[in-house]
Amino acid sequence: MAFQFTDDNFQEVALDSKGLAVVDFWAEWCGPCRMITPIIEELSTEYEGKATIGKVNVDHNPNTSMKYGVRSIPTILILKDGEVVDKHVGVTTKQALQDKIDAHL
């Protein structure tokens, strides 16, 4: 299951940790977000131990969303050692996300 990032744990898990974090900013009411959810879930299982892959509910965690200027969802950020190294806005394919993740592992 994908990790649940929150305003409270984002600093520790995504920014202060070494390695790769893939963060999907989403909302329950967002149709495109629901389309990408199964992809995020699959990737979180496939990359377990290699990357932290999870989701931030923008409605419940506005501070993290504002900090990264998330205005459209889904927005996917890839962070390496706490720094944003890639960003994707909108629906994408599993293969496209895998390619982005693999490029930074």
Positions marked catalytic: 30, 33
Contacts of 50 (CB under 8 A, 6+ apart): 19, 20, 105
Do 5 and 62 contact (CB within 8 A), yes or no? Answer: no
CA atoms within 13 A on the CB side of 102: 7
Do 3 and 44 contact (CB within 8 A), yes or no? Answer: yes
The encoded tokens of residue 54 equal 């999870």
Q: Alpha-carbon distance 14 to 64, whole Å?
A: 11
